Amino acid sequence: MRTLRIRTFTLLCFFFILSAPWIFFVISNFMETNTLGFSRSQAHNELIQEQLTETTQLIEAGAGKWNDPQWIDQLQIKLRETEMEAVILDASDQVIFRSALKGMDASAPIERLSILEDGRKLGEVVIYLPKTRTVQMIAAITGLLLAFFIVGFEMRRFLLKPLEKMGYAARQIATGDLDVQLPSTKITEIAEVRDGFELMVKGLRQSIQKQVELEEERRFVISAVAHDLRTPLFALRGYLDGLEQGVAQSPEKMNKYLAVCKEKSAQLDRLVEDLFTFTKMDYLESKLITETLDLNLIFRKSIDSLSLQAQQKQITISLGSQGVCSLNGDPHLLERAMNNLLDNAVRHTPIYGKIEVNCYLEEDKVLFKIRDTGPGFTEEEMQHVFEPLYRGEQSRNRSTGGSGLGLTISQRIVRMHGGDLAASNHPEGGALLTGSIPAAVPE
């Protein structure tokens, strides 16, 4: 508030500075008039007295001609010469003659005398002079001050008040309170600032809302995955304790215990990797490293990395390709996405099943499809399959070894590259994942 008052005072001072030349002219003219009037006051007074005497003598000498038109014309000429005005009254105070009195100070006559003849009152004469310039100057200065007051009031109403309210709104925003009321104004510049404030507040609200949603999602994911880590950790610790205590005495039993420990450690590794990738997704989006690559090569790497799991279930994975599927993307992230998709297919495909992978160019996009011979998706699963931690199994267990984040991560990586990923069922049975990514622009 103190700052606003200082600004108000500054603006008023600025207005006074702009008006200073005119004020100086008025005051100097006023001072000059008073100075000249003072120096010549005696001669001026003598002149006025002389003119006043001549006028009163003319009126007194023509006492019997006050109603004569010729004499009245003569009196009018004399009054114009002396810049005076007069009123003549008869013995009963009735007005016989009155001049215009335009521009005169009627409340301050300079002469009032009675006309007598043989001791009998014939009438009365009142003489007036024009208003003095002092009164005119005072009126001009009063008008100027009034104009200053009006301008200052309007400046505060239309300029300072809206700025004061926007300053208060800015302080509210600085404290985190986005429920602000911005003032309306007819001044274009202030209205533009107000619109900028509205856009800023709207952007902050959206950003905070998105941040809250992401934070809630991350907390949920971290807590859920941390809970899921307990199951393989508990099993791993139990089998390791059995090995340490000599429960597994035969080589076959020891190999079984070691195989279970290895499986649980791989499951832990998968859970931690999914959690790490998911929590780093926003960071990776800002640090996306792109290069021109062939999606067929990425699929071949993913198929090779999952070949051991597929062989254990006697699953065959085939890659059908129609030429080079060139695109611009991050090879590490895309390999991660395709690994998740194929891993999901392997886990849900029964023994002796098949997985078909197709990749081809269509206009300006690289399309890919992954089909398995598993049970496919239910209607409910297709609506939630890409949600974090969603699993189709009614028991919501980890028997398939999944974390519930694989498809979510894959979809986000594909979308980061300008594409999309969708889930459906193949007409001949089994799940079908269809994705598209913009193709590389040829140089």
Least confident of 150-154, 304-308, 397-401, 439-443: 397-401
Q: Domain limits of the chain?
A: 1-39+133-178, 63-131, 187-279, 285-438
* More confident: 42 or 54: 54
pLDDT in tens, 98-150: 876 555 554 456 677 787 777 778 788 888 776 554 455 566 677 777 777 77
Cross-strand pairs, 293: 327
Cross-strand pairs, 89: 95, 124
pTM of structure: 0.48
The Cα–Cα gap between 261 and 253 comes to 12
Say if residue 370's pLDDT is above 50.
yes
State the DSSP string of 237-295: HHHHHHHHHT---SHHHHHHHHHHHHHHHHHHHHHHHHHHHHHTHHHHHHT---EEEEH
Taking the CB of residue 132, how many other CB atoms lie within 10 A of it? 13
Cross-strand pairs, 326: 294
Sort 154 into a burial class: Cβ within 10 Å, 0-12 / 13-18 / 19+.
exposed
pLDDT in tens, 184-231: 776 777 777 777 777 888 888 888 888 887 777 677 667 666 666 776
The Cα–Cα gap between 172 and 222 comes to 34
The tokens for 51 are: 């003119």
Say if residue 286's pLDDT is above 60.
no
pLDDT mean over 235-245: 81
- What average pLDDT is seen over the chain? 76
Q: CA dist 390 to 221, 370, 376, 381, 382, Å?
A: 11, 20, 15, 8, 11
Q: CA dist 400 to 173, 212, 268, 395, Å?
A: 49, 32, 13, 12
Cross-strand pairs, 355: 317, 372
Least confident of 62-76, 172-186, 270-284: 270-284
Q: Which CATH fold would you assign to the domain 285-438?
A: Heat Shock Protein 90 (3.30.565)
Say if residue 404's pLDDT is above 90.
no
Of 404, 406, 403, 417, nearest to 331 by C-alpha is 417
Give the pLDDT band of residue 394 (cuts 50, 70, 90): very low
| CATH for 187-279, options being 1.10.580.10, 1.10.287.130, 2.60.120.260, 3.30.565.10 | 1.10.287.130
